Amino acid sequence: MSEKIKGIVIKSNDRKEKDVSVLLFSLEKGLIWVTLRGVKNPNAKMKLAQNQFSFGEFVIENGKASQIVTQFELIESFQEIAQDVDKYFEASAVLEAVEKIRFSSEQEQAKVFVLTLRALKSICFGKVKQTYSLCKFFVELFKICGFGLFSEKCTCCGTKTFDRLFVNYAVGELVCASCKSLTSEELPKTTYLALKILDGTDFDRLSTIKLANGSEISLLKVLVKNFEVRFDTKLKLMGILS
C-alpha cells in the first residue's frame, strides 16, 4: 500500500551503485529514512528528490529493508541556497537542529515542519542579514516546544526593574541578578534587545530590522546553548560558529 507525504530532504547517503537513502523531515511522519532507486542515473525522473533542502510530495511504499519512494513531485528546490555559501551554512544549521529535536506530539512536529519551511524561505528568498533567519528559527522553535526564552520580566520573582539580566540554562528562562544561579549566564543589553526585536518580528519583515553590530552572533550563541541543554545534544553549525 502506498502513502503520500510532504517532506524536506535533510541529507542523503549513497546506498548502492545507483540508489540513495534520504532522510526526510515530513509533515505526516516526522523524520523518516526512505530509499530512492536508480536516482544516480543522469536521466532519472526523481533525481531532484535526493538534493538537500528539496521540498516535495513523496509517494512511499514498504520495501523489504526500507520504505521506497515510487513517485516524487517537487514543490520547491531552494536552489539558491546551494549557490550561496553563507545561505548554505545557515540553512544547513536549521536542518541540523531539526534532526536533533525530539518531538513531544504530532501537533508540535507539524508546527516545527511549517517553521522549518518558513526559515528556509527566509534564508533563500529574503534579503535578510546572515544569521537573522537562523536566530528567528530558534526563538520560534522554543515557543513551539513550550519554553519560550524571551520575557520582559524576571521569570522567577517577576520584577521588571533590573539593571542586569541572566539566562538560567537549567530552566531556559531569563532571571534578574537576585535570582540567578550557578547555571546562569549574563545576557548583555544589546543581546537582550536583539532577542526582543526578533521575538516581535515576523519572518517576512526580518529584512526591515537592523540589530546592533555583533549582537546577532552573541544571541545565536545563547540560543544554541539553550537548544543543546533543552535537547541534551551538541550542534556543529559548520560555517556559523566554527
Whether the per-residue pLDDT at 86 is higher than 80: the answer is yes
Can you tell me the distance from the alpha carbon of 109 to that of 205, in angstroms, rounded to the nearest whole number?
Answer: 25
Whether the per-residue pLDDT at 62 is higher than 90: the answer is no
Strand runs labelled E in the chain: 2-14, 20-26, 30-36, 55-62, 67-76, 165-168, 173-176, 184-187
Domains in the chain, start-ordered, CATH in brackets?
A: 2-77 (2.40.50.140), 80-231 (1.20.1440)
The string of DSSP codes covering 102-150 is --SSHHHHHHHHHHHHHHHHHHHHS---TTHHHHHHHHHHHHHTT----
- The DSSP code for 125 is H
Can you tell me the distance from the alpha carbon of 176 to that of 172, in angstroms, rounded to the nearest whole number?
Answer: 13
Q: Which residue has the cell 523518516?
A: 32
Q: Residues 166-212: pLDDT tens digits?
A: 999 999 999 999 999 999 999 999 999 999 999 999 999 999 999 99
Position 242 scores a pLDDT of 67
- The DSSP code for 17 is S
Whether the per-residue pLDDT at 65 is higher than 90: the answer is no
Distance of CA 118 to the CA centre of its chain: 10
Position 227 scores a pLDDT of 97
pLDDT band at 163 (very low <50, low <70, confident <90, very high): confident
The cell for 15 is 546506498
Strands 30-36 and 67-76 turn out to be: parallel
Position 112 scores a pLDDT of 98
Q: Shortest CA distance to 162 belongs to which of 175, 149, 150?
A: 175
The cell for 226 is 539553550
Q: Round the average pLDDT of the chain to a whole number and report it.
A: 94
pLDDT band at 11 (very low <50, low <70, confident <90, very high): very high
CB of 220 closer than 8 Å to CB of 240: yes
Whether the per-residue pLDDT at 64 is higher than 80: the answer is no
What sign for the dihedral angle of Cα 205, 207, 209, 213?
positive
